[in-house]
Structure 1
């Protein structure tokens, strides 16, 4: 009986010893830590033109390509406006001599307004690959162009809504503000300096306005501004339109905040 108890006690002692951790200690003169310096260098893209991309997937080039008539801008490096709608079509309408009217931009089978890729939206796209995050502003102004007469449509304006702003990268957009901090803004443009001569109230606007801005430390990458065609409107004062086709242009200008 005594031998059995002794065997059990010995077994318990062995198991407890197996659970006791073995702590290592550096011997005198040994070193067991070190430091590695890591570096990465990036350079601004100031020479290679950037093509427009699909706003919903910036890894895909936009089809159709620049220069085919749908894009009113060109590819570019550094800070560039790389996409603008090639055409806005406000349709054909009977003259209204009583009421002010607003005519939306027509797309698809109803009209030839250019939409951006597969988005069904009127699009603008800015590329900023300077690496400075200095900020920028995209503005627009209305003019007659080479053979235009739109400024003779007295009291008329063009309305552009604050679009949905989408930027490349992983940060989510928030309506009119992109993930990179760029902001879309609504604009109402006067088409000319001539005031309305009708008895009805005239529309009011400005000769130029900012449609998208990026403050300092924002606006990097590719930024798209998507405008609802139904909210892109030609506003006409009653009894001012003549029986003719009015033509004009919207001139888009991109400026760097660093230039101001």
Structure 2
């Protein structure tokens, strides 16, 4: 480097005599390598629910719900399904779920399609699958509803990139503990936060989750409850 500086000084600071031809000296080319580093760690943040039709719009539940799960592959939110109050009937009957109610960022309560929200921040892009099961029938004390079927229909995805998961065409849930598919993300899809809403908009959502109760099912006046178990699995397992 010192030699290079000296040569530059001669060329720039000296005057060549008349008739003298200056030598053309090429600058040396040198190289140097530095390092750039980044470190990734698994996420432990619970992702809050967002508008199932607009992933940029955060929402808060009105009805009590269980908190989302932690970790890089998480179930963030699942709507509680409310079939409301129905009259006792001796016929086969189909009832439809009420819309979910959530609070937007301005504090306004609104109706939204029932939905389930998943986040994949693992970084492996390995894909995942979600199932749901009903282990026990609807119960009212010791009384139970036999032969019921819950149908999840018109699954519509919204998320943070173009490589979306695939919703099931229709998931029929029976109280036998059998897991049924809700949505599946192949490798390199389903990355980030995704919502599957049941119904494209509020109008279709009003007829997108149904409960079938057969005529012969014994019905005693009162409130019946059951639990649905939602399972999110790494497809590498």
Provide TM-score, normalisation by structure 2: 0.69
- CA-CA distance at 1:235 after TM superposition: 0.5
Q: Choose from 227, 230, 234 the match for 1:249.
A: 227
Question: How many corresponding residue pairs?
Answer: 200
Distance change (3 Å), C-alpha of 1:239 and 1:96: farther
Higher helix fraction: Structure 1 or Structure 2? 1
Write the deviation string for residues 46-68 of structure 1: whole angstroms up to 9, x where unpaired. Answer: 3333322333443443224xxx7
Give TM-score, length-normalised by structure 1.
Answer: 0.64
Change (3 A) 1:47 1:242: closer
Q: How do 1:66-215 residues align onto structure 2 when only pairs under 5 Å count?
A: 69-85=63-79, 87-98=80-91, 100-107=92-99, 114=101, 118=110, 120-144=112-136, 152-168=144-160, 171=161, 179-185=162-168, 186-192=170-176, 207-215=178-186
- For residues 215 and 162 of structure 1, do their structure 2 counterparts lie closer, same or farther at Cα, with a shift above 3 Å needed? farther
Alignment partners' CA distance in 2, 1:56 and 1:97: 38
Please list every run of at least 4 consecutive aligned residues from structure 1 whose deviation after the TM superposition is greater than 6 angstroms: 36-40
Is the 2:134–2:175 Cα contact (8 Å) retained in structure 1?
yes
Q: Which residue of 1 aligns with 2:196?
A: 225
Give the Å deviation of 1:41.
4.0
- What value does the CA root-mean-square deviation take over the aligned residues? 3.4
What CA deviation, in whole Å up to 9, does each residue of 1:103-136 have, x standing for no partner?
Answer: 10124xxxxx556865610011001111111111
Contact 2:163 2:188 in 1 (8 A): no
Residue segments in structure 1 that go unaligned for 5+ positions in a row = 1-26, 108-112, 172-178, 193-205
Residues 31-42 of structure 1 mapped to structure 2, 5 A cutoff: 41=38
Cα distance 1:160–1:208, how it changes in 2: closer, same or farther (>3 A)?
Answer: same
Distance 1:216 1:45 in 2: 19
| Cα contact 1:138–1:254 (8 A) shared by 2 | yes
Q: Does the residue aligned with 2:182 lie in a helix, a strand or coil?
A: strand
CA spacing shift, 1:92–1:135, aligned 2, 3 Å:
same
Relative to its length, the structure with more strand (as a share) is: 2
Q: What is the CA deviation profile of residues 160-209 of structure 1, one whole-angstrom value per residue up to 9, with x for unaligned ones?
A: 114110111xx4xxxxxxx32311112001124xxxxxxxxxxxxx8321
